[in-house]
């Protein structure tokens, strides 16, 4: 089963949900809290970069593409986007 990370903004006029698929090549990095912090910072930098690339999703896509009903529920009512991410350190 693939894992995903969700970055959700619940502000009234800015409700969005970014979905990041966790690659098998870097999944083990999430076992270390320092790496989680670093990964979170990098993904946040991508999300806040106005030139980043994204693919629009519908919450039901989360259920079908990622088999994640919880994510579909969490992202319902939000503009939802998938972004590609791989940690940029060795």
Q: Where are the domains of the chain?
A: 3-83
pLDDT of 65 reads 86
pLDDT of 90 reads 55
Question: 3-state SS of the chain?
Answer: CCEEEEEEEEECCEEEEEEEEECCCCHHHHHCHHHHHHHHHHHHHHHHCCCCCCEEECHHHHHHHCCCHHHHHHHCCCEEEEECCCCCCC
pLDDT of 29 reads 95
Per-residue model confidence as pLDDT tens for the chain (90 residues):
678 999 999 998 899 999 999 999 999 999 999 999 999 999 999 999 999 999 999 877 888 888 888 988 999 999 999 999 999 875
């Amino acid at each position: 089963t693939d894992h995903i990370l969700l970055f959700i903004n619940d502000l009234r006029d800015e409700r969005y949900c970014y979905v990041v698929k966790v690659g098998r090549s870097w999944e083990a990095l999430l076992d270390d809290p320092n790496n989680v912090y670093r990964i979170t910072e990098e993904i946040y930098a991508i999300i806040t970069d106005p030139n980043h690339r994204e693919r629009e999703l519908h919450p039901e896509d989360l259920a079908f593409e990622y088999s994640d009903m919880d994510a579909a529920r969490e992202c319902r009512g939000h503009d939802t986007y998938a972004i590609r991410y791989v940690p940029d350190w060795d």
